[in-house]
Each structure stands twice: as structure tokens, then as C-alpha cells.
């Protein structure tokens, strides 16, 4: 069921995914497994009927699919068939594709910024051990394009064994938690 990342090349699919509720629902399904529309709606802060609508939109573009039924099979259960999604950088990029990629990237970044704000607001309730282990770090580097690509590959290679989507609770230490990790490596825009 849990296949590698879905390659997203269609600008319509990018725009469909670029909704905060859909991103929250997809993240929920990828990290925690199958769920009903009601369960998905709860993490997105929306009604169950809105959750059903967003799940159908995600299904239209292959981000989610029906999961095997639970219990008596009266509830529709959804699953994410892929571990994540990847938006490639094509050699020839149309204005439509560039705009769709930007819309999706900004929606993802908005969600990540909200995650950081929620962490900061709740960090006082974390143990000293977890507060000291957390890292919020910003650095300005000086590299060429080849070094930047190599740096991105190396950082990704370091993090891959720890991905929550592939390292289930049974493979992690008993006190492991899901941690949000974000790496942004991009050329600094001119002032």
C-alpha cells in the first residue's frame, strides 16, 4: 500500500492539493494511516461533510484512495497510497506550471509556519530534555549550484532512515515521537 512519493506534474493536481485542509488531511493519512472523513475533518478543523468533499478532491488526483473497511464496513475509510509527494523541476516550465508550483509551495510553507508557531506556543509544556533537543536554526551559506545540490542530497540522506512515513512505531525507540523537520536550501533572492 505505502508506495514511494507520488510525482505531481499536473498543475491542476498541484492547485487541488494547495488547500490547507487537504494538506492537513493528507498529512494525517500519511502519518497515522487509514481514517474516515470524520477523523480526517477533525485534524483539519472542518465539518465531516467538508472533509468528505476534500477527500474526494484528493482522490480525484490520486493522493488518497479507499482503504479496506473496518468493523461492519458501514463507514468509508480512506488511505494515502504514497509516502509523500514530489514536485519535479522540469527543464521547460510553463507559466501555468510555475504558478501552480508556487501556489502549492506557499500553502505547504504556511502550514509549516503554523506548525512552528504551535510548537513555540506549547514548548513550555515540553520536558527540558525535549526543549533542549529541539533545533530551530537559520544559516546563510555561500555555495555554488553544484554544492547546493550536493548539500541537499547529503541532508536528505541523513534524514531518510528516520522518516515517520517509513519508520513505524515498532522500529523506533519506545520514547520516540513524530518530529517535524524542515530543510530549506535555496538561493537568497536579491534585496
DSSP H helices, 61-181, are 95-122, 128-133, 145-159
What's the pLDDT tens digit per position in 65-97? 999 988 777 889 999 999 889 898 877 888 999
- Measured CA to CA, the distance from residue 122 to residue 36 in angstroms comes to 28
| CA 188 from centre of chain | 24
Domain regions of the chain by residue span: 1-134, 137-191
- Measured CA to CA, the distance from residue 25 to residue 154 in angstroms comes to 30
pLDDT tops 60 at residue 1: no
Q: What strands lie across the sheet with 77-79, from one edge to the other?
A: 35-36, 77-79, 65-66
What's the pLDDT tens digit per position in 104-119? 999 999 999 999 999 9
pTM of structure: 0.83
CATH topology of domain 1-134: Arc Repressor Mutant, subunit A (1.10.10)
Amino acid at each position: 500500500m505505502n508506495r514511494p512519493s507520488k510525482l505531481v506534474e499536473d498543475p491542476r493536481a498541484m492547485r487541488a492539493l494547495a488547500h490547507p485542509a487537504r494538506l492537513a488531511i493528507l498529512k494525517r493519512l500519511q502519518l497515522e494511516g487509514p481514517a474516515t472523513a470524520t477523523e480526517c475533518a477533525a485534524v483539519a478543523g472542518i465539518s465531516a461533510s467538508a472533509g468528505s468533499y476534500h477527500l474526494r478532491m484528493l482522490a480525484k488526483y490520486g493522493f488518497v484512495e479507499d482503504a479496506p473497511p473496518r468493523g461492519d464496513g458501514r463507514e468509508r475509510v480512506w488511505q494515502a497510497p504514497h509516502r509523500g509527494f514530489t514536485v519535479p523541476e522540469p527543464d521547460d516550465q510553463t507559466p501555468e506550471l510555475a504558478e501552480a508550483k508556487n501556489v502549492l509551495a506557499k500553502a505547504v510553507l504556511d502550514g509549516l509556519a503554523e506548525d512552528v508557531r504551535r510548537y513555540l506556543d506549547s514548548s513550555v509544556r515540553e520536558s527540558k530534555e525535549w526543549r533542549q533537543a529541539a533545533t530551530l536554526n537559520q544559516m546563510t551559506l555561500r555555495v555554488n549550484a553544484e554544492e547546493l545540490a550536493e548539500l541537499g542530497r547529503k541532508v536528505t540522506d541523513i534524514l531518510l532512515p528516520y522518516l515517520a512515513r517509513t519508520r513505524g512505531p515498532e522500529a523506533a525507540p519506545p520514547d520516540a515521537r513524530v518530529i517535524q523537520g524542515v530543510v530549506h536550501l535555496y538561493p537568497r533572492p536579491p534585496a
